[in-house]
Amino acid sequence: MRLRLAAPIAGMVAVLALLGFAGATAQESPSGRPSAGAMGVVDVIRVFEECDQIKDLNQVLREANESLQKEGEARKKALAQKETELAAFSPNSPDYRPRRREVTRMNIDFNVWVQQSRAEMAADHFNWTRVVYDHCCRVTEEIARERGMSIVLQKREFRPEAIEDEDIDKVRQMIHARAVVWADPNADLTEAVIKRMNQQYRDSGGRAKLKPAAKAP
């Protein structure tokens, strides 16, 4: 049960906040920052890659996965031992039937445990991705409002060199997934979002305060 937290991020929506539309290009104020009605961009994938909370959550989930792997090996070993013991009995012996029932029960319990553990890990994966993405959206909105922006789009880097097999369909998918072709660096909120999210995470207690995503605010 290998769990990679970053996997679901690729399918996230392009528009983070749509509060109004004031024009196709950002207008600069004398201070150098976009004026009211301007657009901003944020690289959500980069936010997830550099967010301290995600790094800690990945570690927590890896540790949980390792613990489950160890428990699974112990359960398999116990089941194999019972199966070996059962094989030593003749099917006609009085002890064979109850021992076979015990092995059957252990086998069922093991399979149920595996399915339940996978479901719980998947639920944690889903819930934490949702929680962190919601946090990213809230922080993005805060910073955008402070800078007088009325819309923030998701920025995705165009990196065809990352496609190993030079598949043209994958290049097309990469192009289609991009909501922004170019943005002035002053309109890019990514660094500010990462910095504020990390600060808020530390202020809330950091990893010591992590709890199941289902109970997270």
pTM: 0.69
166 near 105, Cβ under 8 Å? no
Q: pLDDT of 6-51, one tens digit each?
A: 433 333 333 333 333 333 334 444 455 555 568 999 999 999 999 9
Distances (CA, A) of 206 to 11, 74, 131, 164, 192: 27, 33, 15, 37, 19
Question: Beta-strand (E) ranges in the chain?
Answer: 15-18, 38-42, 149-154
Q: pLDDT of 122-134, one tens digit each?
A: 999 899 999 999 9
Q: At 174, phi and psi to the nearest 5?
A: -65, -40
Q: pLDDT of 167-187, one tens digit each?
A: 788 788 878 878 888 888 999
CA distance 44 to 163: 20
Q: At 179, phi and psi to the nearest 5?
A: -90, -20
Percentage above 70 pLDDT, the chain: 80
Percentage above 90 pLDDT, the chain: 56
Which of the four pLDDT bands, split at 50, 70 and 90, describes residue 201? Answer: very high
CA distance 173 to 130: 24
185 near 42, Cβ under 8 Å? no
β-sheet with 15-18: strand ranges across:
15-18, 149-154, 38-42
| pLDDT (mean) for 186-196 | 96
For the record, the structure tokens of 184 come out as 């002035």
CA distance 67 to 86: 29
8 near 129, Cβ under 8 Å? yes
